[in-house]
Amino acid sequence: MTKAVIFDMDGTLFQTDKILELSLDHTFNFLRSQNKWVNETPIDQYRNIMGVPLPKVWETLLPDFTIQERDQVDAYFLERLIENIQHGNGALYPNVEEIFKELTDQNVRIFIASNGLTKYLAAITNYYQLNRWVSEVFSIEQIDSLNKSDLVSSIVQKYDISKGAVVGDRLSDILAGNDNGLTSIGCRFDFAREDELSKADYVIDDLAEIKYIEI
């Protein structure tokens, strides 16, 4: 039986906001160069839906594009995100390494479950050497339903997790904890919404606060 904490990545461990606007601007500048976009970069619209799987993002931002065109935009955007990560333009939130060390010292296993794509998650994990503490990183790509609760369920089953928590900033993270019988911890960070956080068992303003929660 395993005790574990499952973390979201974007807006929870990684300060996505630091590379989001830059990468999105690059992407929409590319679309403008192809005469496929004439308006402003829809950064605010993206912020409003931050946390949903990327296919849903492009359905929202580019409703008139074909699936093939959206896939091309998705690939270009992913390249820009990874490029910015590798150039050091992003950052972890404060106390990520400290809480990872604390949990590891308590024999609590650490996992990441994210709506991000596998290559993107690998870029962050490798750049910040998160594998020093993280047992495995899971992407929503691994689940046909693209549902965070289903992704967390697969982790619980694979590792026989009997007790633990899901930590994240959006409703999908909170529901993933609640749906799987785990403690849900909402992070009041950049993309969080108070109405979504109200459904969590606990709400924190700093990752260091996790050590004071009985998991």
Domain C-terminal end among 65, 86, 107: 86
Q: Which two tokens stand for residue 23?
A: 């990468």
CA–CA–CA angle 147, 14, 94 (5° rounding): 130
What pLDDT is stored for residue 35 in this prediction?
Answer: 95
Enclosing domain of residue 75? 17-86
Domain C-terminal end among 54, 70, 86: 86
Q: Which two tokens stand for residue 44?
A: 């605010």
Judge contact between 189 and 206, C-beta under 8 A.
no
77 plus 98 within the same structural domain: no
Task: Tell me how far apart the alpha carbons of residues 53 and 83 are, in angstroms, rounded to a whole number.
Answer: 20
105 plus 136 within the same structural domain: yes
pTM of structure: 0.92
27 plus 60 within the same structural domain: yes
59 plus 73 within the same structural domain: yes
| DSSP state letter for 196 | H
What pLDDT is stored for residue 50 in this prediction?
Answer: 80
Which residues share a beta bridge with 2? 161
Q: Residue 95 region, left (φ>0) first, then alpha (ψ -120 to 50), else beta?
A: left
Average pLDDT per consecutive 10 residues, the chain (215 residues; last block may be shorter): 94 94 95 95 89 86 96 95 96 98 96 95 98 97 94 98 96 97 97 96 98 91
Domain C-terminal end among 86, 111, 141: 86
How many domains are contained in the chain? 2
What pLDDT is stored for residue 114 in this prediction?
Answer: 96
What pLDDT is stored for residue 101 in this prediction?
Answer: 97
Task: Tell me how far apart the alpha carbons of residues 108 and 17 are, in angstroms, rounded to a whole number.
Answer: 29
133 plus 200 within the same structural domain: yes
Task: Tell me how far apart the alpha carbons of residues 211 and 215 are, in angstroms, rounded to a whole number.
Answer: 9
Q: Supply the CATH number for residue 164's domain.
A: 3.40.50.1000
Instruction: State the helix-helix crossing angle for 67-86 and 118-127, rounded to 10 degrees.
Output: 0
What pLDDT is stored for residue 51 in this prediction?
Answer: 74
What pLDDT is stored for residue 215 in this prediction?
Answer: 85
26 plus 55 within the same structural domain: yes
